[in-house]
Amino acid sequence: MSRPYSKIQFLLFLFLGLWIRPLAVGQNLGRGINLGNMFEAPSETAWGNPFKEEYISQIASLGFTHIRMPIRWDVPERAQLTEPYTLNPVFLARVKSVVDLAISKNLYVIINMHHHDEMFTNPAASKVRFLKQWAQISAYFKGYNDRLLFEVLNEPHDALTPELWNVYFADALTEIRKTNPDRKVLLGTASYGGLGGVKELNPPNDPNLILSIHYYNPFNFTHQGADWAGLKDKYIGTKWEDLTWERNQVISEFDYAIQWAKQKKMPLHVGEFGSYELADMESRARWTTYLARYFESQGLSWAYWEYSAGFGIYTPASATFKQPLVDALVKNPMPAVRTLPTKNIYDMQGTGGWNLNLNSGALGTLLGAGNGFKVTMSNVTGTAWHIQASRAGFPLTYKKRYVVKLKAQADKTLSITAYMGRSSNPYNAYSAYNGLSIEPNEKEFSFIFTMNDPYDANARLSLDMGSATGTLQINSIQVDEIVEEVPLATQESPNSAQVFPNPFQDQLFFKSPESQEVRLMDLHGKIRQLTPHSTEGNWDTAALPEGTYLVQFISDKTGQSESHVVHKQGNK
């Protein structure tokens, strides 16, 4: 199934040492995009985004190297839903025409099974049909080279539990291998294809599998305004600013999956990531740029969701590209990280205020450990919130932004969900529900959110940990309020104000030609000193540790800022 090359090309590749079998590693899939809202709709025109042949040439010319083709097979127009479950040959030919067109443009193609809805409500009743459909798809495409890949099922969930999914995937792979012994096959995770499902996977021993992950965090940002996701109005205006904490959240969430894939010697492909059109374009471009470059830095291939609908990079009605998104995917380099000043509102010192809530027969204990606490889950129901460590009393202000940071470890890999929310009925969350994978070695996690509800003086931080037995230790928790949306410069501004001496020791002086708010901050954005409405002054800096700091001047009149880099020296 290898790509055909001429004899001269083959000898040239050998001579230059460039012969690399395609798909030897996941990164060889490179940059891709989903043909979303086309073939996974009940019919090709049902969702107002029909496929057009020119899309393939456009995608190839932009520099993408593969497409993912989501397909809904299990509808009466495309498949017999009773024995013998025959797939419609006209629809098979339609899929083939798109595959052939993409391969003719040197693109790899992933075809999958999307929206097989009965699999998620009654998997036992639909399993035979599911397997026979895959047997037919596999036989139909068996003659294709390795430009074509199969993905068994999109986002298993609900009744198709992680345990069942391991069995059903293995059975489907057995059918595929009867006619396609070496084809690359993508393995997604249960629980809607997310990172949290990786630890539940028990893949067959097969050298031609690729792990596939979908990523839409923070969900309140990526799906703001999406009525089908229940986020129609509340989170409109949520931004993603490429801050240190936002990046740290991505890195910590992917860490377990990346290590798992390395241990299994399995390439990792991010099969979906994208943001809905009602988010502001600057934030969408920042989020997309960072994720694409981060994935590539980790050796991951990816496929953006999607080409020409609500998340897309192309507008069919005007035949124009959304250039900031195109640039984010295929042009922009990794930018410098951004940071903002913060004000601490909580730094955990022991178990004060923390409670362990047990429900529905779940059993556990919470005991102090250093500055944090240790929770032992001795009997679980499988529902995470049935064992919940929580603390109320956090004052949150409307439209203010907050960052939550914690360090944790466990006696084995355990999944918990962390979120900030209301401490009384209806217990709604103010932040997203953040899934964390806690491991034996201590890891640091962070998440950031905007308070989109009215002021709450008694908000509650909750850690849902009742999914599995084990022991989990929370070593530190810090909650900070982001003071103001004034990014810190990474280089000094053209200076009109003065800061002296530099380097400094016990005293630091400042002067400005106009009234300004003056801040002394460390490189994490934490404000160490603040003087409002001043033209000159000084700070006692004897207690500051040695290191580099920023002095930021913010004009009372215009709000514009300038920054100075200063250095604290130890006393000689």
pLDDT tens column, 158-195: 999 999 999 999 999 999 999 999 999 999 999 899 99
Residue 526 has pLDDT above 50, yes or no: yes
pLDDT of residue 217: 95
In degrees to the nearest 10, what's the CA dihedral of 276, 282, 286, 288? 30
Q: What is the rounded radius of gyration, in angstroms, for the C-alpha atoms of the chain?
A: 27
Could you tell me the pLDDT band of residue 565, with boundaries at 50, 70 and 90?
Answer: confident
512 CB contacts (<8 Å, ≥6 apart)? 496, 497, 498, 518, 534, 535, 536, 553
Round the average pLDDT of the chain to a whole number and report it.
90
Report d(CA 448, CA 394) in Å as an integer: 15
Please give the DSSP secondary-structure letter assigned to residue 39. T
Average pLDDT over residues 544-549: 83
Could you tell me the pLDDT band of residue 13, with boundaries at 50, 70 and 90?
Answer: very low
Per residue in 399-454, pLDDT tens?
899 999 999 999 999 999 999 999 999 999 999 999 999 999 999 999 999 998 88
Could you tell me the pLDDT band of residue 525, with boundaries at 50, 70 and 90?
Answer: low
Average pLDDT over residues 205-219: 96
Query: With pLDDT > 90 as the criterion, what percentage of the chain qualifies?
Result: 77
pLDDT of residue 558: 74
pLDDT of residue 567: 80
pLDDT of residue 173: 98
359 or 494, greater pLDDT: 359
Report d(CA 91, CA 87) in Å as an integer: 8
pLDDT of residue 527: 83
CA–CA distance from 302 to each of 261, 268, 314, 330, 390 (Å)? 15, 9, 18, 12, 37
Per residue in 27-39, pLDDT tens?
479 999 999 999 9
The CA-CA-CA angle for residues 229, 260, 124, to 5°, reads 55
Query: With pLDDT > 70 as the criterion, what percentage of the chain qualifies?
Result: 92
pLDDT of residue 63: 97
pLDDT of residue 551: 87
Average pLDDT over residues 452-462: 94
Q: And the tokens for 291?
A: 């994720």
pLDDT of residue 571: 58
Could you tell me the pLDDT band of residue 289, with boundaries at 50, 70 and 90?
Answer: very high
21 or 56, greater pLDDT: 56
Residue 358 has pLDDT above 70, yes or no: yes
Average pLDDT over residues 50-58: 98
pLDDT of residue 99: 98
Query: Lowest-confidence range among 125-134, 201-210, 272-281, 514-523?
Result: 514-523
Average pLDDT over residues 28-56: 96
Are the beta carbons of 169 and 201 closer than 8 angstroms? no
Longest dimension (CA), the chain: 87
In degrees to the nearest 10, what's the CA dihedral of 380, 385, 387, 393? 180
Per residue in 462-487, pLDDT tens?
999 998 999 999 999 999 999 865 44
Average pLDDT over residues 368-391: 95
Average pLDDT over residues 197-208: 96
Q: And the tokens for 513?
A: 């030609």
Residue 1 has pLDDT above 60, yes or no: no
Name the β-bridge partners of 404: 447, 479
Report d(CA 15, CA 18) in Å as an integer: 8
pLDDT of residue 489: 39
Residue 236 has pLDDT above 80, yes or no: yes
pLDDT of residue 487: 43
Q: And the tokens for 228?
A: 């089908």
Residue 563 has pLDDT above 90, yes or no: no
Burial of 9 (0-12, 13-18, 19+ CB in 10 A): exposed
Average pLDDT over residues 276-287: 96
